Amino acid sequence: MKRLFLSLYLLLSLGFLGIGWTLDSLWKKNVDQEGALDAPLVALAQVLSKLPHAQRHEMLKSINTNPKFPLALLDADQVAFSEDQMVQTNAVIATPYDINHELQFIAVGEQILMAGPIELDPDASLRGLYNIFFYLSLAFVALIWVWPLSKDLKTLRNATKEFGQAKWNTRIKLTKRSQVLPLATTFNDMAAHISALIENQKHLSNAVSHEIRTPLARLKFALALIPQYCLPKSDPQRRQAFLDEMQLDIKEMENLLQELLTYASLESQREGLQFERCELNSLAKQTISRLQTHHSTPIELIETDIAVQVMAEPSLIERALQNLITNAQRFCVDKIAVEISVQAEQVLLSVTDDGEGILQQDQLKIFEPFYRSETSTNGNKGHGLGLAIIKRIMERHQGRVTLESQPGFTQFTLIWHKP
């Protein structure tokens, strides 16, 4: 808006100065004749002053043929002036006669030459036309600025109205010269973000209802069977196995809700992160040490000679690395490798496994929430939120996650810019 105000201010200021100066110059050059009207009267007075009294009247009669400019020669005692007025031979004194006329006086020796009554402004109509032209010119200059602005503002209003009618794909297209282009860009960014949130919410709602339905149905069925397992003669081992299955269903729903809360928090708390220098080497060692106890496949750490640091929130980076290693443990055959490296201005953290790989058609959607690859190893495990959480974590750190996969080789890489 600052740019908008400055452009309007400069346009109107330059318009006033330019048009005013141009019209003033034209007026003085072609219309303003005040000096030209006084000069003949001064010259006539100087000529009359050199003539005897008797010849002065005769000369006036011979030249006084213009009814709009009557001349009369008066004695000094016939005219009275105020104390601050003094009739001179080289200057004209003007006094009002009525609203539209004036009288002009100049000394001729001991006499006074009077001209008038003379119309005050014979060019009043022309001056009015100049004034009208002046204001029309200003209006035209303002219109040059206001007209495209009004069209752009109308476009903004229509887009806002459509967006308010739940047309989430509404976007504003303006030229690069538009004064409100920053506002339109901000609107488009906001619209894209809101549209993504709404689509994400719909997707999450559908996915949650689908994911919870299965364990909830099992729990309802189990609750209906509880009386049979609580009979005095029922087998205690079967009863315990039955209760353990119910606990597994509850744990599955708890895990889903926890994943959902984590995924949602990464969207809603974008300004809440406390970035600090995070040493990837020690973080990777701690994470590997903790996860190695849950799986027999060895995890190899390949690191640089010097400690590698990034500006990040350590708990989120640890969560991203944990998700990648857990996935690798699920799909690997013989080995898992975690590598830390630095390339140019980037820091890379890669997790590689030797599993069957990810299908090409799945690689384009693998980072979407609730999407699960239909591989023989994966089956129906997990909720499809692990990689989506990793993607959001990296976006919040102005980084990215990449995937390279083929049979026998799958590598996920977390990439940051060097601090």
Q: What is the pLDDT of residue 349?
A: 94
**Measured between alpha carbons, how far is residue 319 from residues 88, 251, 280, 281, 287 in Å?**
102, 20, 13, 15, 9
pLDDT at 348 over 90: yes
**60: pLDDT strictly greater than 80:** no
Spatial separation of the C-alpha atoms in residues 268 and 270, rounded to whole Å:
6
pLDDT value, residue 362:
85
Q: Compute the distance between CA of residue 273 and CA of residue 317 in angstroms, rounded to an integer.
A: 12
Confidence (pLDDT) at 32: 47
The confidence band for 352, taking pLDDT boundaries of 50, 70 and 90, is very high
Inform me whether the pLDDT recorded for 13 exceeds 80. no
C-alpha 57/C-alpha 113 separation (Å) is 11
The better pLDDT of the pair 124, 15 is held by 15
- If one compares 199 and 375, the residue with the highest pLDDT of the two is 199
3-state secondary structure of 52: coil
What is the model's pLDDT at position 107?
A: 77
Q: Quick one: average pLDDT of 145-153? A: 79
Please tell me the distance from the alpha carbon of residue 147 to that of residue 349, in angstroms, as a whole number.
55
In the chain, the amino acid numbered 344 is A
Q: What is the pLDDT of residue 286?
A: 92
pLDDT tens-digit map of 318-332: 989 999 999 899 889
Question: Stretch 158-180: mean pLDDT, rounded?
Answer: 85
- The listed range with the strongest mean pLDDT (123-132, 309-318, 362-371, 373-382) is 309-318
List of residues 6+ apart from 110 with CB closer than 8 A: 75, 76
- Across the range 159-177, mean pLDDT stands at 86
Tell whether the model's pLDDT for residue 31 goes beyond 50.
Answer: no
> For 236-246, what is the mean pLDDT?
84
* pLDDT tops 50 at residue 19: yes
User: All domains of the chain, ordered by start, with CATH?
Assistant: 34-122 (no CATH), 198-268 (1.10.287), 276-417 (3.30.565.10)
Q: What is the pLDDT of residues 265-308, one digit of tens each?
A: 776 555 555 788 889 999 999 999 999 888 888 999 998 888 88
Q: Where are the beta strands (DSSP E) in 43-151?
A: 71-75, 93-96, 101-108, 111-119
User: Taking each helix axis from N to C terminus, what angle separates 236-268 and 386-396, rounded to the nearest 10 degrees?
Assistant: 30
Q: In what order do the strands lie in the sheet with 111-119?
A: 71-75, 111-119, 101-108, 93-96
* pLDDT at 339 (0 to 100): 93
The answer, yes or no, to whether residue 117 has pLDDT greater than 80, is: no
- Return d(Cα 352, Cα 197) in angstroms, integer: 32
pLDDT tens per residue across span 287-298: 999 998 888 889
Q: Give the chain's mean pLDDT.
A: 78
The residue with greater pLDDT, 275 or 410, is: 410
Nearest Cα residue to 382 out of 260, 287, 252:
252
- Is pLDDT larger for residue 180 or for residue 89? 180
Tens of pLDDT along 381-396?
Answer: 666 778 888 988 898 8
Residue 47 has pLDDT above 90, yes or no: no
